[in-house]
Structure 1
Amino acid sequence: MKPGCSNGTRTSAPRFSFLTLTNFYRRETCSKRPSNAGLKRQKICSFGTSLLNMQLTDTFLHNIRNSFGAQGERWLVDLPDLLNKAARRWDLSLGEPFLLSYNYVCAATRSDGTQVVLKIGVPNREILSEMTALRLFDGQGACRLLEADDQNYTFLLERLDPGQMLTSLDDDEARTGIACQVMTRLWRPAPPELPFIPLSSWFAELNKLRPGHGGGTGPFPCWLVERVEALLPDLLHPSNPQMLIHGDFHHFNVLNSERSACGWLAIDPKGVVGPPAYEVGPLLINPWDDLLKSGDPVRITERRLAILSEHLGFTPAHLRDWGLCHCLLSAWWDMDESGRGGEYPLACAEMLAKAGV
């Protein structure tokens, strides 16, 4: 019995339990429903406009404080000034924010009437890598970077039209085929001098998992941890092709656009360098509500793996392995200090393990 495999926990994949996913869905939809009581408002001045209400939800405030600590607190204090600087610099009228997570993102209008998107982030390597990736993509496969203030981690983006997410399509096979077209337009060699995020640095975080749980796996399934530990040395071997990839490629980060030949473009790239097959990881476990409601997520996953394999040239088993690794990494990121969180990616790992490939 290996460390952390208490009570004879097996190392083979357990049976997929759809109830696990269903319970997660019920809890998430009940606990994350927005309410007016959860909004905090403050006034900011927007150059060329009247005063406008900036809505900062409790979730956004928690994300910033929890992820960035004192730096995040200072950034929240400075945010109105950063918005005003951007409005003056690029002659913008600022609109309402979109659904906020870890960056402030809002609609804006240029003096000539062009609709754009303004994005401001807490200074960190991911926001810098995103700006750098968008410059290199230069509108090929992704929205265009129109302006950037690197010093203040502020940038102006093309607003995609019509701008509906890939989730707006009902046909999952069609969605998967479109995803393949978009992601492969992004992949390219990464100039070594540019500040992109190595994929290996993300997975290096998993080296803390066993030491943090007395040599065991804690709340993470032993079979999954052992499987990923066995897979990663080969998957991340330096001899494997290294490409610039999106890094967070899923249905909510692909929008329809009249500018694109295939009709769709990506947004919010992380700007990651690593084996391109990792790109399917976030895609395979999204959109989570569709998988939950489908009644047969394993069958959907098997069909997705077949389509991805046909378009991308990797075996279904290889793509499935990357999906499993991403599930553990996602659960590691999601889990809080009390050991709660991460249920959904862990349930998806069971689903992937059941896929016949």
Structure 2
Amino acid sequence: MPESLRGLGRWQHEGEAGSRWLEALPDTVYEWCQRWNLEVDGRPMHGYNSLVVPVRRDSEPLALKVTWPDLQLEEQVLALRLWDGHDAVRLVDVDTAAGVLLMQRLDHNRSLREVPLEEAVPVIGSLLRRLAVEPPAGLRSTGAIAAQHRRELAGHWQDLGRPMPRRTLDCGLELAGELSSDDYSVLVNNDLHYEQVLRTSDGDWTVVDPMIVSGVLEFQVAPLLWSRFDELGSSRVEWCIDALADAADLDRDRARKWALLRAVEYWLWGLKAGLTEDPVRCQYIAEALL
């Protein structure tokens, strides 16, 4: 098991349960390799919540993923089954209760994060549109998220010592009320960003680790601004929104509104969470759009 996974600060919050999960990982990997007739085929990797081990079954390269128990795993599996390997990583087998997935192996060294923005933005926008299938019932909606922001933003602003101008907060509140009434609904990947798009062995771009909601695609514009804002800069925020709108066939006005609302919300959330860089990025985005 990579020591860098064990060293993540998040495990301090999981307590004894987190320690037990970490200690059991080698045995878990061995058990599922035995069950699924897999052979380890490389060094393990990890993210914030999971361990990924390159494996083979006969001659087929695959990836065995062991995840921290999370209610969102069921939704991730649901999305991967709906997409069925089209523009998203192909799910080969899964045991949701155990938090273990067997998937198509992708090239973790080649993500859209390393591709120049002028090329990456149209690619990720087109993926956003192609993955917008009919959503299953029961998912949280983007309208409900906007309504929650409408209820909570002012309280967070007050609790944090009024860190942004009142005009900015009021604009966010107005947009939250307006966008809570959006009723158009498709499946939206709520965690789509450049590092979550990897190359296949055939050279195609493929999405991994989805988190899903139902609603409007414009909801997902903001993370595509702040996740590479250091390269983008305030002067190209509008360019990026226009490029995403072209690639994903978005409503430009709605995309700008969602980008501004989510920048205001994440600005406050980031301050509450003790983040130092993302709140500043969101401040610049909000200022560019106001």
**TM-score bracket, shorter-length normalisation:** 0.7 to 0.9
Corresponding residue of 2:133: 188
Aligned position for 2:176: 232
Q: Percent identical across equivalent pairs?
A: 24
Aligned-partner residue type, residue 62 of structure 2: V
**2:105 pairs with one of 159, 173, 189:** 159
How far apart, in 1, do the equivalents of 2:100 and 2:198 lie?
22
Q: Deviations over 1:302-324 (max 9, x none)?
A: 21122122233434332122122
CA contact (8 A) 2:222 2:263 kept: yes
Distance 1:108 1:59 in 2: 19
Is the partner of 2:3 in helix, strand or coil?
A: strand
- Separation in 1, partners of 2:80, 2:104: 11
Show the counterpart of 1:246.
189
Is 1:174 paired with 2:119? yes
User: What's 1:348 paired with?
Assistant: 282
Q: Find the counterpart in structure 1 of residue 43 from structure 2.
A: 96
CA–CA distance in structure 1, aligned partners of residues 2 and 89 of structure 2: 25
Q: In the alignment, residue 18 of structure 2 is paired with which amino acid?
A: G
TM-superposed CA distance for 1:78, in Å, is 3.5
Counterparts of 1:335 and 1:71, CA distance in 2: 28
| 2:200 aligned residue (241, 244, 257) | 257
Supply the AA of the counterpart residue of 1:97: P
SS class of match (2:244): helix
Q: Deviations over 1:145-174 (max 9, x none)?
A: 11101111111121125861113322x222
Q: 5 Å matches for 1:270-289?
A: 270-289=211-230
Distance 2:259 2:200 in 1: 28
1:234 maps to amino acid: E
CA distances 1:82-120 after superposition (whole Å, capped 9, x unpaired): 22222222222333232421x223232223132222222
Matched letter for residue 215 of structure 2: G
Displacement after TM superposition at 1:277 (Å): 0.9
Q: Secondary structure at the match of 2:74?
A: helix
Quickly say closer, same or farther: Cα 1:60–1:182, change in 2 above 3 A.
farther
User: Aligned with 1:61: secondary structure?
Assistant: coil
SS at match of 1:62: coil
Residue 96 of structure 1 aligns to a residue in which SS? coil
TM-score (norm 2): 0.84
List runs of 5+ in structure 2 lacking aligned partners. Answer: none
Matched with 2:260 is 324
Deviations 1:14-61 (A, max 9, x none): xxxxxxxxxxxxxxxxxxxxxxxxxxxxxxxxxxxxxxxx11327853
Residues 1-357 of structure 1: matches in 2 within 5 Å?
54-57=1-4, 61-66=8-13, 68-69=14-15, 71-94=17-40, 95-101=42-48, 103-161=49-107, 164-170=110-116, 172-192=117-137, 196-199=139-142, 204=148, 207-208=151-152, 210-211=154-155, 215-218=158-161, 220-222=163-165, 223-237=167-181, 239-259=182-202, 263-291=204-232, 297-335=233-271, 340-355=274-289
Q: Is the 8 A contact 1:217 1:225 kept in 2?
A: no
2:80–2:88 contact (8 Å) kept in structure 1: yes
Structure 1 SS opposite 2:10: helix
How does the TM-score come out when normalised to structure 1?
0.70
Change (3 A) 1:303 1:59: farther
The residue type paired with residue 149 of structure 1 is D
What is the total number of aligned residue pairs between the two structures?
287
Task: Quote how far apart the aligned CAs of 1:201 are.
Answer: 6.1
One-letter amino acid matched to 2:125: C
Structure 2 Cα separation of the partners of residues 226 and 59 of structure 1:
43
1:241 CA drift (Å):
0.9
Distance 1:285 1:149 in 2: 34
Instruction: Mark the CA change 1:111 to 1:141 in structure 2 (over 3 Å): closer, same or farther.
Output: closer
Listed as ranges, the gaps of 5+ residues in structure 1 are 1-53, 292-296
Letter in 2 for 1:353: E
Q: Contact 1:298 / 1:355 at 8 angstroms: preserved in 2?
A: no
Q: Is the 8 A contact 2:267 2:283 kept in 1?
A: no
Change (3 A) 1:240 1:217: farther
The aligned residue for residue 36 of structure 1 is none
Find the aligned partners of 2:159 and 2:223 in 1 and give their Cα distance. Answer: 26
Q: Secondary structure at the match of 2:52?
A: strand
- CA distances 1:192-237 after superposition (whole Å, capped 9, x unpaired): 15xx444456563784554466x45536424443322211122132
* Residue matched to 1:45: none
CA distance in 2, matches of 1:220, 1:87: 51
The CA deviation at 1:138 is 0.5
